[in-house]
Amino acid sequence: MRTLSFTACVLLQLAALRVLHGAKWTYRGPEGEHHWSKHYPFCGGAFQSPIDIKSELLRFDPALRPIELQNYNLSPNEQLTLGNNGHSLQISLPPKMYISSLRHRYTAAQLHFHWGSSSRPAGSEHTVNSRQYAAEMHVVHYNSDKYPNISMAVDKSDGLAVLGVFIEIGDFNPAYETFLKFINGIKYRDHKVQVPGFNVRALLPNRLDEFYRYDGSLTTPPCYPSVLWTIFRNHVTISQKQFLALATALYSSYAQDSTATPLHGNFRKPQLVDSRVVLVSFKEGRGLHGTLTVSPPFKRKQVVHQLLAGDLADLADEGLYQLLPSGSQTVRAGNRKDTMSQLSVTLAKPKQQTKNPSLRKSQTNRFVGKLGMEENTLCFTSLEHQLRQSHAESELSRILRDLIYPELNLKSYLDCKSDLALPTIRHILSRRPTDEALELDRSLTKALMNPRKTSPATKDRGSRTKHGSVSVQQKPLSRRHPHPWLLPMEWED
C-alpha cells in the first residue's frame, strides 16, 4: 500500500506540475492534438470531447427540461472584454448570467468559438452523424452552488456546464455583428478590446428545448473530464462575409513575432465515444424513430440491487441483459475464453485479486455502501497514462483499473449517463457465491456475443472500448490553478 500510494502521488504531482506551468499547444504540427497527452495526461484518457453524435448513441430522456437562461440580455452600458487568446476569439461574461434549469446553478464565465478556414468552411468540434458545421460556439458556465469561481470548478467532475451552438453559413446575423465589427482590434494574440454589452441570448437558437446531453471534457488542454455538455439540435446562421471575418482576420501569433500565423481550423477532432450514451430531449425526427428511452433511476437501482442481493441463478435464467437500458458491453471477439478463464480465477479467489486485499475490501465496502464516488478518488485516466509513459509495471495499472473503473461507472449508470457494462457487473459479483456468479456471467456473455441480441450502439461501443473497460465519470484531481486560457480574460492579468 505504501508503494502504491508513493508511486501514485509522485506521478500525479508530475502531471500537476506540467499543467500548472503550462505547455505550448496547437491544433497542428509538433505541438498538435496528437501530442497533447504528453504534457496533459487527461487529453489521452476517457470521457473526452468532442464526439460525433451518431443516431445509434441516442437515448430519449423525457425528464430533460428546456434550458432556462437568466440575465442573458445585457445592457449596452455594460462593458465586455473581447480578446484573442491565441487559440480562439473569446468574450468574458458577467457573473449575473446563469443557467437555472440544471441540478445546480451554473454561472456564466466566457464564450468562445471554433471555426474552419476560408478554403474549408467546416470547423465545428461536435459533429452529427459525421456532419461538420462551419463553426461552433461554446458558452462556458461553472457550478457556483459548490465552487466560488471557475478556477476551483474547472477540474471537478460536476464543475462545468457548456452550451454548444452549431453555426452554419447562411443569412446575415445582426446579433453576431455586435462583436464581429470589433474583430480588427484583436488581430494578434493577447490583444483585447472593450465592447458594449448585447443580448447574448440572441446568439443561441430560438428553441432551447431540443438538445443533446452527455458527459465529456474540455476540448482543449488540459482536457479535464469535467463538462456537462448541452449541444442544441438547431443551428444558427451567419453570412459568408461574417464567417470570412472570423476565419481570416485573426492570428495565433504575437504582434511582435517575425512570422504571422493565421488563426483558423481551431477545432479538435471527434474523440472515442467508448460506452457513453447521448441523452436527447426530443424524440421525433429522422434517425430517432428507433431511439431507446433511458430507464428511470428507480429501475436502474433495482437492477443493481438484484445483482447485490438477488437470486443470481434466477437472473441467469431470465436474462439480465433484458433488464438493462441497451443490453451491455460486448465481449471483444477472440477474447471470450480468456475473459471467462480470468473471471473464474477472480471469482474463485476474491481475496487474492490484488496484492493488497485490504485495499480491495475497503474499496468494495465503499462501493456497495454508497454507490458513488468520494472526493479523493484517484483519476485513473491520468494515472494510467503516466504509468504507460514511465513503463511502470502493468500490475499497478491493472489494480487501479479493477478498483476504480467499476465504481465510477456504477455512479454514472445510476445517473443515467452510461450503460451498465460487464466489468461493473463482474465487480459486483466478485462478492457473490462463485457458482451462481459464474452461471450468470456465462448467461450474459452468451447473450451479448449473439449479434441478434446486441444493439448497433452497443456493438459499436464495445468494439471501441479501451482495455475492455468502460468510459466512466472521471473525478479529476483538485488543483487551485488551472491552465489560464480557460479563465475569463479579466482573471488572466
Per-residue cell: 432: 457473490
DSSP states of 349-388 = -GGGSSS-HHHHHHHHHHHHHHSS--TT---HHHHHHHHH
Neighbours of 285 (CB within 10 A): 12
Q: Tell how far CA 206 is from the center of its chain.
A: 26
440 alpha carbon, distance to own chain's centre:
32
C-alpha gyration radius of the chain: 23
- Residue found by looking up cell 487568446 in the block: 85
Alpha helices in 82-186 (DSSP H): 150-153, 174-180
Task: Please classify residue 53 by burial: count the beta carbons closer than 10 Å to its beta carbon, then call 0-12 exposed, 13-18 middle and 19+ buried.
Answer: buried
Say how many C-beta atoms besides its own lie within 10 A of residue 261's C-beta.
15
Annotated catalytic residue, options 87, 104, 141, 483: 87
| Residue 69, strand partner residues | 99
Render 46-74 in DSSP notation, one character per residue: SS-S--EE-GGGEEE-TTPPPP-EES-B-
Quote the DSSP letter at residue 163.
Answer: E
Active site (annotated) includes residue 34: no
State the DSSP string of 201-230.
Answer: GGGS-S--S-EEEEEE--SSTT--S-EEEE
The sign of the torsion formed by the CA atoms of 100, 106, 108, 114 equals negative
Would you name the residues annotated as active-site residues? Answer: 87
